[in-house]
Amino acid sequence: MTKEFSLQHIIQEPKNKSQKSPVLIMLHGYGSDENDLFSFAGELPEDLFIISAKAPYSMQPYGNAWYAIHFDNNDGKFSDDLQAISSRETLKNFIDEVIQNYPVDPDNVNLLGFSQGSILSYAVALSYPEKVKNVVALSGYINQGILKDGYEKNDFSNLDFYCSHGSVDQVIPVDWARKTKPFMDELGIKNSYSEFPVGHGVAPQNFFEFKEWLQKRL
């Protein structure tokens, strides 16, 4: 058994242990780290094997990113899509490593991403739907530039998305997030979309809604 992992991470084993537990992989936002979303872990379903991954690119003076963001770029290309694609592939490999090294169910891999982690969750699940069952995508959007070529021909029948956004998000415009549901519907992907009257964050009612959504699908 290999113990080499592509990404640093922390884990919480399920309180209700089984031979093969459903696994939830958490992907934090830009400038954060693996401890951020992990604060949710104690409140999530007790059957879950929870893994919170640390993004591969270090930032100064602290924090990590899944890809660089160029805030001063004028041509609209402020995301480093090549780095994002690299992180997408790293995550694909990381899912395989998790399955090899932990007692988790390969048919019950769930992603929970916030902001940049949400954008990566969309990219991994739409590019490799055979690897993922459910996605909780918080405060993100679909960047079609980082999806695998030919993704629209994939079999999405086992995939389900919970998407949510703050209606007054000052970081990622809510208009970007509102394109998600029509995009998913066009591809015939199961999805739900919610908005909450908050900025770039997760409201308590948002947390309870996605927790219930996930519990029903494990």
Pick the closest to residue 150 from 120, 129, 172, 119 (CA basis). 129
Contacts of 80 (CB under 8 A, 6+ apart): 67, 68, 69, 70
The DSSP annotation for the chain comes to -----SS-EEEE--SS--SSEEEEEEE--TTB-THHHHTTGGGS-TT-EEEEEPPSEE-SSS-EESS-B-TT-SSS--B-HHHHHHHHHHHHHHHHHHHHHSSEEEEEEEEEEETHHHHHHHHHHHH-GGG-SEEEEES----GGGSPTTGGGS--TT-EEEEEEETT-SSS-HHHHHTHHHHHHHHT-EEEEEEES-SSS--HHHHHHHHHHHHHH-
pLDDT band with cut points at 50, 70 and 90 for residue 16 = confident
Q: What is the mean pLDDT of the chain?
A: 95
130 lies in some domain: yes
- For the chain, the domain total comes to 1
Residue 1 within any structural domain of the chain: no
Please report the pLDDT score of residue 1 as a whole number: 43
> Is 210 a domain residue?
yes
More confident residue, 16 or 85: 85
User: Would you say 122 and 66 are in contact if contact means Cβ atoms under 8 Å apart?
Assistant: no
pLDDT band per the 50, 70, 90 thresholds, residue 75? low
Q: What CATH number corresponds to the domain at position 127?
A: 3.40.50.1820
Q: Does 188 reside within a domain? A: yes
Residue 104 has pLDDT above 90, yes or no: yes
* CB distance 156 to 129 below 8 Å: yes
Q: Which domain holds residue 30?
A: 9-217
pLDDT tens digits for 128-174?
Answer: 999 999 999 999 999 999 999 999 999 999 999 999 999 999 999 99
